[in-house]
A and B are shown apart, each in its own frame.
Chain A
Amino acid sequence: MPTVSRREFIGTGGALIVSFGGFHAQAQGPFDTHASHIDPNQLDSWVAVAGDGTVTAKTGKCDFGQGIYTAQTQLVAEELCVPVARVKLIQCDTDSTPDQGTTSGSQSSPTNFRTQGLAEAAATAREALLEMAARQWKISPQQLTVAEGVITAAGGRRITYAQLIGGKQFHLMLSATAKRRPRDQWKVLGKPVSSLDRKALMTGQFEFVQSVKVPGMLHGRVVRPPQMGATLASVDKNSVSDIPGVQVVVRKDFVGVVAGTQHAAVLAARQLAVKWKPGPDLPAQADFYDYLQKQPSQDELLVDSGNVEQTLVAGKPLRAKYFWPYQMHGSLGSSCAVADVQNGKVTVWSPTQSVYPTRSCIAKILGVPLETVRVIFRRGAGCYGLNGADAVSFDAAVLSHAVGKPVRLQFSREDEMRWENLGAAVVTEHRAAIGPDGTIIAWHRENWEAALGNRPGYENPGNVISGVLLGYEPQKPRPAPAKPPQGRLRNQSNTVPEYMAGCIGDTCGGGGTVHNERVLTHQALSPVFTGPLRSPLRIQNTFANECFMDELAASVKADPVEFRLRHLKDPRVIAVLKAAAKAANWGAPSSARANGTGRGVACVNYEGGNGYAAMIADVEVNRETGEIRPQRFVVAIDCGAVSNPDGLRNQTEGGVLQGMSRALIEEVKWDSRHITSTDWVSYPALYLDYEMPEVEVVIVEPPDAPATGAGETAITIVGPAIANAVFDATGARLRQVPLTRERVRAALA
């Protein structure tokens, strides 16, 4: 998938870089964004103190349930030395918050919890307030203390933030030298603060985007084509004339209806007579992985030491291929947005992860000036990546634009599932040889990734279905052979196993010891849309890497934990691996375990330095039915400085069980015409009657490490830990996800 610098913007600092290169010259803001009307270098863009001492903070990172709203509130409270209850956080509104791009990719913590963004702003504000008090009293700021928003000098003189600046602006730039409060003095951050949305969620008061109401609001539905590539032939608007108040909206291949009530809109969408010109058939699912490997591809070499093949030939290489299917975000609530396009203004309440990019795409789609468009984030159902949020926002804007009234649009379950940007199908082939001393002497890795579309970003509405129907093109792989690797190792998709040295020239950016290494990726055109789904490509890659590592260990009868340690030199991966092994009592005699049970291990250095996790999985395998029942997961996680331990545990527990669901049962199905996984019968999930294994989370927190991402780390290692445990229990290798009963029975046969 064209992962356009999803994560390559750390360290760009607060500098406003204006690029003049070419026709599409676009001023650049920090965080891989465009420059916006809200200057991220100005403190007033981030923090304000009201006359009553309340602190309002503004952030471009928003909460979908991962807990970042609470954590960011804690951050502001900590840095400004005020109670959590006195902080009001405004998240993701293009009228008032700085452009921080997309809330994705485990980047909220690295972006806002280190020394940039919100952390820098809050620290700057505290120092500025101390400076103001010091000036007023003609003493040094070092002589002051601050607590609860009150600055105190020796001798007991006191002044509040409100008295210093209440209701007024700072008129200051962010200060790169502003000091974060030292971690050993944290009072709010690093503590298990109860998530601030909980009471509203549990009592039905929380305003999801699905609950947003605008006066005079109408209700919409879309009418999607019957298959990918189908184009509109005709629409018979009279076919819905018996339903009162229905308007039919047609624009190129986009078809939608608007009515006074949801019920009327649902009926009209069902009843509207639309004729489509068919698109091409989809490749058969039964041999799709073979098909994928034969497509022309855009290739990339991540590492190539140049001597792998010779060394492999000299040894006795082990070879294995792994398969990961298309999977869905499958949000519990279908995506919804409310758009109000009237009087030259566009306002969209959207569950998007990317308010500014969405604003840019909507301006483009409607052909209106950017400054007339406002996108306001409201949480939808958990998205886990690019679900239908962006598509529904574009569609709602088109409908409202056409009818001149505010329109609420919620997808049907089928609209959501059939047309979302799926997690990519990936095939991975490993070949490696082990030397006489029991270490890997050469390793070749090659994979094939299906890609079509992606996040729309600022410029590409065609990356999701709505844009394509409106006439925009999706991003596609551009077939070309790989060039020799250059620069520093880029392992943001966990393509390179952490046991490789990752050397390009003399610079070795990997965390491991294998120097004869070659990693080649092929990106081929996907017949269906793909996009980021929690740990995109990282979950697929880690499954293949960690399962193969287990096969290598078994081939020399080595203990899988010890064999990993033999090839690791990154101290943080080593630490989580040892922590998980210790907590799970790894190494206890297997005779102590019941028949049909097994344990497996997996670990990850997420994105080459954005979090670390290791897992020991205990599973039971029923040889008759082929059913795998995980019994217990012990997961050790290191995400640097922890903002909220309860939030981290919640994310990790959920991520682990979601990873288990994806490993055991989730797979998108299709026929020759279209995706057939369109509801919770045709796309399986684990309901609340499933007896879940216990998840024990061990937090490993190195004293001085800055915050990394945490929401996507643990999910990557669940599949391989389970598959490796099945091997331990049965001696059978499972190399294709989902690890269904049929596949287990076949492997045991």
Chain B
Amino acid sequence: MPQLRLRVNGQSHTVTVDPETPLLFVLNDNLGLRGPRFGCGLAQCGACTVMMHGQAIRSCVKPVGSVGADEITTLEGLGSPDKPHPIQQAFIDEGAAQCGYCMSGVILTAKAALDANPRASDEQIRTALGGVLCRCYAHNRIMKAIRRYAHSLAS
């Protein structure tokens, strides 16, 4: 089995895995990361989302061998409980979760959209989140948290 080098949350890792292995399994099982999670394995829900070159991608269908040298950022790469990223802080302030299993998809997808367009309208933000699911239906608080973060960008 080949050795692969990965850059994740600012650190380098070497893993020995089948290159066809979904990136998600490597992040969870080889690197012990908890942020991205298996939801459907079909790229339908977003629970496994990570960021790669500014884009939110679905790590459950991304073969680890196709990642190459690109930096990967997971939810824990944005900030920590002591020093949350401003978008994480906005979610904390709004209490924008119930079970919280969807958070990687929600926060990273919203961040990618606002990184690309800090002045994105509500409608543009919603469109960006079109493939992200929250089954607790915390939708309204999630939108409030994103808006709160977007306003902090604008001001």
Is A689 a contact of B92 with CB atoms below 8 Å? Answer: no
What B residues does A205 contact at CB under 8 A? Answer: 34-35, 76, 80-81
Query: A206 at the A/B interface (Cβ < 8 Å)?
Result: yes
Is A686 a contact of B139 with CB atoms below 8 Å? Answer: yes
Contact with B along A666-698 (1 / 0, CB 8 A): 000000000000011100011111111011000
List residues 378-404 of chain A with CB under 8 A from any CB of chain B.
Answer: 379-382, 384
Is B81 a contact of A203 with CB atoms below 8 Å? Answer: yes
What B residues does A36 contact at CB under 8 A? Answer: none
Is B137 a contact of A204 with CB atoms below 8 Å? Answer: no
Query: B61 at the A/B interface (Cβ < 8 Å)?
Result: no
Stretch at the interface among A341-349, A357-365, A595-603, A652-660: A652-660
Contact with B along A191-220 (1 / 0, CB 8 A): 000110111111111111011010000010
Partner of B126, one of A195, A203, A210, A689: A689
- A195, closest chain B residue (CB): B95
Is B81 a contact of A650 with CB atoms below 8 Å? Answer: no
Interface residues on A, range: 35 or more
Q: In the complex, what distance in Å separates the CA atom of A263 from the CA atom of B20?
A: 8
Is A688 a contact of B130 with CB atoms below 8 Å? Answer: yes
Q: In the complex, what distance in Å separates the CA atom of A689 from the CA atom of B133?
A: 9
Partner of A381, one of B76, B89, B101: B101
Is B135 a contact of A202 with CB atoms below 8 Å? Answer: no
Query: B79 at the A/B interface (Cβ < 8 Å)?
Result: yes
Partner of A207, one of B34, B36, B103: B34
Is B133 a contact of A695 with CB atoms below 8 Å? Answer: no
Is A65 a contact of B137 with CB atoms below 8 Å? Answer: no
Is A680 a contact of B34 with CB atoms below 8 Å? Answer: no
Given A200-B81, A202-B84, A680-B45, check contact A688 B139 (CB 8 Å). Answer: yes
Query: A661 at the A/B interface (Cβ < 8 Å)?
Result: yes
What B residues does A650 contact at CB under 8 A? Answer: 95, 98, 138, 141
Query: A412 at the A/B interface (Cβ < 8 Å)?
Result: yes
Query: B33 at the A/B interface (Cβ < 8 Å)?
Result: yes
Is B37 a contact of A413 with CB atoms below 8 Å? Answer: no
Q: In the complex, what distance in Å separates the CA atom of A379 from the CA atom of B25?
A: 20
Is B140 a contact of A653 with CB atoms below 8 Å? Answer: yes
Identify whether the interface residues of B are mostly helix, strand, loop, or mixed.
loop
Q: In the complex, what distance in Å separates the CA atom of A412 from the CA atom of B40?
A: 7
- B36, closest chain A residue (CB): A204
List residues 84-136 of chain B with CB under 8 A from any CB of chain A.
Answer: 84, 88-89, 91-92, 95, 97-104, 106-107, 126-127, 129-136
Query: A428 at the A/B interface (Cβ < 8 Å)?
Result: no
Is A204 a contact of B103 with CB atoms below 8 Å? Answer: yes
Is A198 a contact of B102 with CB atoms below 8 Å? Answer: no
Is B135 a contact of A332 with CB atoms below 8 Å? Answer: yes
Is B137 a contact of A654 with CB atoms below 8 Å? Answer: yes
Q: In the complex, what distance in Å separates the CA atom of A66 from the CA atom of B95?
A: 12
Q: In the complex, what distance in Å separates the CA atom of A689 from the CA atom of B131?
A: 8
- A213, closest chain B residue (CB): B32
- List the count of A-B residue pairs having beta carbons below 8 Å apart: 198
Partner of B99, one of A199, A382, A656, A681: A382
Given A657-B137, A687-B129, check contact A65 B100 (CB 8 Å). Answer: yes
Is B129 a contact of A658 with CB atoms below 8 Å? Answer: no
Query: B142 at the A/B interface (Cβ < 8 Å)?
Result: yes
Query: A410 at the A/B interface (Cβ < 8 Å)?
Result: yes
Query: A545 at the A/B interface (Cβ < 8 Å)?
Result: no
Query: B44 at the A/B interface (Cβ < 8 Å)?
Result: yes
Give the one of A384, A656, A660, A692 with max B CB within 10 A: A692
Given A330-B135, A685-B135, A687-B132, check contact A204 B75 (CB 8 Å). Answer: yes
What A residues does B44 contact at CB under 8 A? Answer: 413, 679-681
List residues 26-53 of chain B with CB under 8 A from any CB of chain A.
Answer: 28-29, 32-42, 44-45, 47
**How many whole Å from B109's CB to the nearest CB in chain A?**
8
Is A211 a contact of B98 with CB atoms below 8 Å? Answer: no
Partner of A203, one of B17, B32, B84, B98: B84
Is A211 a contact of B129 with CB atoms below 8 Å? Answer: no
- A63, closest chain B residue (CB): B99
Is B37 a contact of A661 with CB atoms below 8 Å? Answer: no
Given A65-B100, A205-B80, check contact A679 B40 (CB 8 Å). Answer: yes
Is A65 a contact of B97 with CB atoms below 8 Å? Answer: yes
**How many whole Å from A277's CB to the nearest CB in chain B?**
29
- A198, closest chain B residue (CB): B92
Query: B55 at the A/B interface (Cβ < 8 Å)?
Result: no
Partner of A204, one of B21, B39, B74, B130: B74
**How many whole Å from B91's CB to the nearest CB in chain A?**
5
Is B41 a contact of A261 with CB atoms below 8 Å? Answer: no
- A217, closest chain B residue (CB): B29
Q: In the complex, what distance in Å separates the CA atom of A379 from the CA atom of B136?
A: 14
Is B34 a contact of A204 with CB atoms below 8 Å? Answer: yes
Query: A45 at the A/B interface (Cβ < 8 Å)?
Result: no
Q: In the complex, what distance in Å separates the CA atom of A694 from the CA atom of B143?
A: 11
What B residues does A656 contact at CB under 8 A? Answer: 137
**How many whole Å from B87's CB to the nearest CB in chain A?**
9
Query: B4 at the A/B interface (Cβ < 8 Å)?
Result: no
What A residues does B136 contact at CB under 8 A? Answer: 65, 332, 382, 654, 658
Q: In the complex, what distance in Å separates the CA atom of A692 from the CA atom of B98?
A: 17
Partner of A66, one of B84, B98, B127: B98
Q: In the complex, what distance in Å separates the CA atom of A650 from the CA atom of B137?
A: 10
Give the one of B20, B77, B141 with max A CB within 10 A: B141
Query: B54 at the A/B interface (Cβ < 8 Å)?
Result: no
What B residues does A65 contact at CB under 8 A? Answer: 97-100, 136
**How many whole Å from B114's CB to the nearest CB in chain A?**
14
Query: A651 at the A/B interface (Cβ < 8 Å)?
Result: yes
What A residues does B104 contact at CB under 8 A? Answer: 204
What A residues does B17 contact at CB under 8 A? Answer: 261, 263
Contact with B along A683-717 (1 / 0, CB 8 A): 00111111110110000000000000000000000
Query: A305 at the A/B interface (Cβ < 8 Å)?
Result: no
List residues 6-22 of chain B with CB under 8 A from any CB of chain A.
Answer: 17-18, 20-22
Given A199-B92, A687-B129, check contact A332 B29 (CB 8 Å). Answer: no
- A262, closest chain B residue (CB): B25
Is B140 a contact of A331 with CB atoms below 8 Å? Answer: no
What B residues does A651 contact at CB under 8 A? Answer: 98
Q: In the complex, what distance in Å separates the CA atom of A262 from the CA atom of B38?
A: 11
Is B101 a contact of A208 with CB atoms below 8 Å? Answer: yes
What B residues does A296 contact at CB under 8 A? Answer: none
Q: In the complex, what distance in Å separates the CA atom of A690 from the CA atom of B44?
A: 15
What B residues does A413 contact at CB under 8 A? Answer: 39-42, 44
Partner of A332, one of B42, B91, B133, B139: B133
**How many whole Å from B68's CB to the nearest CB in chain A?**
19
**How many whole Å from B46's CB to the nearest CB in chain A?**
8
**How many whole Å from B145's CB to the nearest CB in chain A?**
9
Query: B78 at the A/B interface (Cβ < 8 Å)?
Result: yes
Partner of B35, one of A204, A681, A690: A204
What B residues does A691 contact at CB under 8 A? Answer: 126
- B137, closest chain A residue (CB): A657
Give the one of A219, A336, A680 with max B CB within 10 A: A680
Q: In the complex, what distance in Å separates the CA atom of A219 from the CA atom of B39?
A: 16
Given A333-B38, A689-B127, check contact A203 B99 (CB 8 Å). Answer: no
Is A332 a contact of B134 with CB atoms below 8 Å? Answer: yes
Is A210 a contact of B38 with CB atoms below 8 Å? Answer: yes
- A655, closest chain B residue (CB): B137
Q: In the complex, what distance in Å separates the CA atom of A650 from the CA atom of B106?
A: 17
Is B126 a contact of A204 with CB atoms below 8 Å? Answer: no
The 5 closest A-B pairs by CB, nearest first: A204-B35, A65-B99, A204-B75, A201-B100, A382-B99
Residues of A within 8 A of B (CB): 64-67, 194-195, 197-208, 210-211, 213, 219, 261-264, 266, 330-334, 336, 379-382, 384, 410, 412-413, 646, 650-651, 653-658, 660-661, 679-681, 685-692, 694-695
New contact pairs (5) apart from A202-B107, A211-B37, CB-CB < 8 Å: A64-B99, A204-B33, A204-B35, A334-B39, A688-B133
Residues of B within 8 A of A (CB): 17-18, 20-22, 25, 28-29, 32-42, 44-45, 47, 74-81, 84, 88-89, 91-92, 95, 97-104, 106-107, 126-127, 129-143
24 A-B contact pairs sorted by A residue (CB < 8 Å): A64-B99, A65-B100, A201-B100, A202-B100, A203-B76, A204-B33, A207-B34, A210-B37, A261-B17, A263-B21, A266-B41, A332-B47, A332-B99, A333-B47, A381-B101, A413-B39, A413-B44, A650-B98, A651-B98, A679-B44, A680-B44, A680-B133, A685-B135, A687-B133
